[in-house]
Each structure stands twice: as structure tokens, then as C-alpha cells.
């Protein structure tokens, strides 16, 4: 206990040599010698030896202040956290917590989304929704089929066009071959002069047209206007053989004479045939404009010689 002489100053108790006793010192030399007996050593320091009375005692107030500040801070934090829950019914809160627990780990955002989705689905008419889904699927399928059909149509169109072009080319070649073959055959039967054979075939070819009828190549003789020629009022077609015979009659000098006509001269003609047996179409007695044209187109050198022999100048 602390007891000893007191000196009053200004009406207040005072301990000799000090204004006030220190609760703890690190060195007893800081104290008057008469006061050192009131301190006890502990943990390297000297504490004032005070006997507790009615709950009052000497203690480390720094730790108490730190603890008190921490508790006050905790109270402030808790009060801030509890602020949103002011006025909340405890029973209702407990029920809400139990319901939330039943959902496990679901978040409030997920729960809100689920509630909104449920409300939207509840408002839907099942029959109309099913019809809408069916229509959507139908339109999707129609679009897919249309796209597929478009691709196939393009593919088929390309193939058909290729086949049509190939067929047209083959048909054209066939008509040409068949027409030329018939012309050559009929001209050969008429026995043209060797030098005039090409000219006769060229002349016949100008009036022969081939076409396809019922899958067959048909050859017909046409006039200068491109109209099919007929032989009589019954509409009998004019044939290639008829055309060659007509040309032979009009241009006999292009063909070899028959046995009874002698050697290369027309009946009643006294002019000798030039070398090669060709009658001169520029000579006055054997003048033939058609033969002149044919020779100038096919045998220009021979035509030049025949003109000179007939005294015709270019």
C-alpha cells in the first residue's frame, strides 16, 4: 500500500518531491529515494504497488483503450450492416432465409431470371405457341429445300445446256454430212466433167437445205427466196436429183456428153471444145452466164483462158 507523509500545495494533497506518482518507470533513479519502496519490479519495469479497493486498481489503460476503440468500430460496422434491415419482421425474415436455403447455391440474379422466365411462359398460349413453333420449323425447312432445289436446278440446267449444245453440234455435223453426201451422190450420177465437179456441187449446194424431222435428217430443195420447191400441183417435193437434172439441162457444158452427143459438143454446135472437154461459156454460140459464174469462182485460171479464147477482155 501507499502511505507516508503528504504535503499540501494549493489545497491539494501532494507527495513530497513529486507533483504526482508515476504508474510505471523503467529506472528507480528517476524517483526520490523515499518513494522507491512503493514500486515493484515486473518484466524489466517498476510498477507502482497499488492495492485494489472497491473495484479500483492500477491497470494498463492503453490496451483497454485499443480494445475499446476496436469494439466501437465493430459496433459502427454492425450498425451500418443492420441499417437496411430496420423495421424487418423477424419471423418473416426467418421464413425468407429458410426458403432461400432450400434453393441451395442459386444466386439472387439467377432466381430473378427464373421467376421472370416462369412468368413469361405462364402467359403464353400453348396452342398458339405450338403453332408458331411449327410455322417457324416449316419456314426453315422450306428455305432449306428451296436452297437445295436452287442448287440442283442450276446444276441440272448447266448439264442440260451442255447436252443441248453438244447435241446441236452433232446434229449440225450430221446434217452437213448427210446433205453433202446426197449432193455428191446425185452429182456423180449426172457424170460431170472432172474439172467441173466441184463447181456443180457448189451450185447444187446453194439450193439444198437440210433439217431434222422425227429424228431423221431431211433434205429439201429451195428456191432463191428460201422456200421449198415443188414439182407439181400435188405438192410433190423437188428432189436433189431433180435439181441436178435441171442444172445439167441448163449447163450441159459442165457435164460429160452422152454417147449419142459425140465427144464434148452440144447438138447443133460446130465449135470445137477446148482442151479438157469444157465448152467455152464466153463463146457467142455457147454463151452461158451461169457457167461463167461457176468457172470464175472455182477455176479462175481456166476462166481466164476461156475468156481469152473467146476474145473477151476483163
Distance CA 261, CA 246 (A): 18
Q: 293: which 3 cell numbers?
A: 459464174
Question: DSSP H helical segments within 83-107, as ranges?
Answer: 90-102
Could you say which residues of the chain have pLDDT below 50? 1-2, 5-12, 17-18, 260-276
Looking at residue 166, what is its pLDDT?
Answer: 86
Confidence (pTM): 0.37
3-state DSSP call for residue 209? strand
The length of the chain in residues reads 314
How deeply is 123 buried, as exposed, middle or buried, from its count of CB atoms within 10 A (0-12, 13-18, 19+)? exposed
Looking at residue 103, what is its pLDDT?
Answer: 65
3-state DSSP call for residue 47? strand
Looking at residue 260, what is its pLDDT?
Answer: 45
Amino acid at each position: 500500500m501507499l502511505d507516508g507523509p503528504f504535503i499540501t500545495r494549493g489545497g491539494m494533497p501532494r507527495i513530497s518531491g513529486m507533483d504526482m506518482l508515476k504508474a510505471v518507470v523503467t529506472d528507480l533513479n528517476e524517483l526520490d529515494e523515499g518513494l522507491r519502496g512503493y514500486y515493484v519490479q515486473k518484466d524489466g519495469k517498476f510498477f507502482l504497488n497499488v492495492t485494489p479497493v472497491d473495484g479500483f486498481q492500477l491497470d494498463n489503460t492503453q490496451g483497454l483503450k485499443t480494445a475499446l476503440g476496436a469494439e466501437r468500430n465493430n459496433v459502427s460496422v454492425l450498425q451500418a450492416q443492420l441499417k437496411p434491415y430496420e423495421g424487418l419482421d423477424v419471423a418473416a425474415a426467418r421464413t425468407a432465409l429458410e426458403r432461400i436455403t432450400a434453393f441451395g447455391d442459386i444466386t439472387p440474379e439467377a432466381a430473378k431470371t427464373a421467376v421472370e422466365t416462369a412468368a413469361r411462359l405462364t402467359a403464353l398460349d400453348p396452342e398458339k405457341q405450338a403453332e408458331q413453333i411449327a410455322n417457324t420449323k416449316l419456314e426453315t425447312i422450306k428455305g432449306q429445300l428451296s436452297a437445295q432445289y436452287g442448287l440442283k436446278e442450276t446444276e441440272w440446267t448447266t448439264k442440260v445446256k451442255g447436252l443441248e449444245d453438244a447435241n446441236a453440234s452433232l446434229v449440225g455435223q450430221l446434217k452437213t454430212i448427210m446433205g453433202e453426201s446426197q449432193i455428191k451422190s446425185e452429182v456423180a450420177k449426172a457424170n460431170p466433167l472432172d474439172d467441173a465437179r466441184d463447181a456443180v456441187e457448189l451450185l447444187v449446194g446453194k439450193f439444198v437445205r437440210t433439217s431434222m424431222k422425227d429424228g431423221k435428217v431431211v433434205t429439201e430443195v429451195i428456191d432463191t427466196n428460201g422456200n421449198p420447191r415443188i414439182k407439181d400441183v400435188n405438192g410433190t417435193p423437188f428432189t436433189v436429183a431433180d435439181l441436178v437434172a435441171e442444172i445439167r439441162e441448163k449447163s450441159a457444158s459442165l457435164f460429160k456428153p452422152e454417147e449419142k452427143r459425140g465427144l464434148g459438143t452440144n447438138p447443133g454446135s460446130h465449135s470445137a471444145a477446148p482442151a479438157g472437154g469444157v465448152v467455152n461459156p464466153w463463146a457467142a454460140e455457147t454463151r452461158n452466164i451461169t457457167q461463167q459464174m461457176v468457172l470464175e469462182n472455182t477455176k479462175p485460171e481456166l476462166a481466164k483462158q476461156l475468156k481469152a479464147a473467146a476474145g473477151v477482155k476483163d
